[in-house]
Structure 1
Amino acid sequence: MAEIRIPTGPIEHEPWDAIRTSPGESLTAACRTALLVEMGGMEVGSWDDELLGWLANQDPSVVATVCSWLRRVRTLPPPSAPTVRGGPELDDATEAEYRAEQADYTPKEQS
């Protein structure tokens, strides 16, 4: 049976041994299992599943890092209400500059 030990805090060094398998076990299956566990039962569509398969085929240290991000983000407090840009609050001068840029913006034609 695979041994999966996802880091629970900030990662300073590549977590080489976070996802390990016994001889004959599929490393891809172990990585997929780790991802699904950290996704917490989230419903996935066909595109989600395709990317999940792609990610599960990456280096296990990459998968472990993504799993750690998923785990740690669930412990964060909910974000505050979004501002105009959907990010942090802007001071008046910065917001005025942003709005001026948006007013002057002309989308490029797509080819």
Structure 2
Amino acid sequence: MEDNPRGRCPAAHPEDPTPCDGPPVVTVLDAKNAGVVGCAHHGARMLASMHGARVVPLPDAPQGTAIDVFKAADGIRPFPWLAGAPRTRDEQLSRAEVRARAAGLAEVVAELDQDQAPELAVPAGPVETSPRGVHSDAEQGAALLAVLAEAGVELGEHDRRIVEWLAGWEWSTVATVASWVRRAGQEPGR
């Protein structure tokens, strides 16, 4: 590991204080095929931190090493050595956390009949004062999805991600946006 003055593999980020877990066994390639070799530990951490990256084993790596690194990266948040900041947006979470979040919201919506939408008071008219209340992200997302469905809005994949993102805001914001959708859907000629 002479390539790194700190005695670690080239994939170890300078700000990442963790040690290598062995010799370099993989190459992590970015979206343009520029790559760096690394131990399994730092290879996974780098893979988790890069959008559009992939991992390939070095020729002398044990069989299945790249798959193991790929699976490990799935549960690692991007730039895991950056601690202390809240991580709430999808790009700040591990891929596994993003899938779980999306699945949780989808399950809540799938379980709701139109009559079972959460009893969250979405204003029907102009919002004069901040709507009050504290609700889970899943409840807020389900309420917003119910209002969108009520207004006849067809959702694409990106739309659903934005609903999920918006559901993470405080209720006063979600309720106001949902109120706009509800009122726009009730406009004559719509």
Q: Same fold (TM over 0.5)?
A: yes
Q: How does 1:6-85 map to 2 (within 5 A)?
A: 6-17=122-133, 20-21=134-135, 27-40=136-149, 42-78=153-189
1:78 to partner: Cα distance: 2.6
1:74 to partner: Cα distance: 1.5
Measured on the aligned residues, the alpha-carbon RMSD in Å equals 2.2
Q: What is the alpha-carbon distance in structure 2 between the residues aligned to residue 11 and residue 59 of structure 1?
A: 15
1:3 to partner: Cα distance: 3.5
Q: What is the alpha-carbon distance in structure 2 between the residues aligned to residue 42 and residue 74 of structure 1?
A: 9
* Secondary structure in structure 2 of the residue aligned to 1:5: coil
1:14 to partner: Cα distance: 0.4
* Overall identity of the aligned pairs, in %: 38
Q: What is the alpha-carbon distance in structure 2 between the residues aligned to residue 43 and residue 11 of structure 1?
A: 25
How many residues align structurally?
72
Name the structure 2 match of 1:4.
120
* Secondary structure in structure 1 of the residue aligned to 2:183: helix
TM-score, normalised relative to structure 2: 0.35
Large movers: runs of 4+ above 3 Å: none
1:53 to partner: Cα distance: 0.8
TM-score, normalised relative to structure 1: 0.57
Change over 3 Å in CA distance of 1:76–1:43 after alignment to 2: closer
Q: What is the alpha-carbon distance in structure 1 between the residues aligned to residue 167 and residue 178 of structure 2?
A: 11
Name the structure 2 match of 1:97.
none
Which gives a bigger RCO, structure 1 or 2 (Cα 8 Å, sep 6+)? Answer: 1
Q: Which runs of 5+ in 2 are unaligned?
A: 1-117
Name the structure 2 match of 1:90.
none
Q: What is the alpha-carbon distance in structure 1 between the residues aligned to residue 160 and residue 124 of structure 2?
A: 25
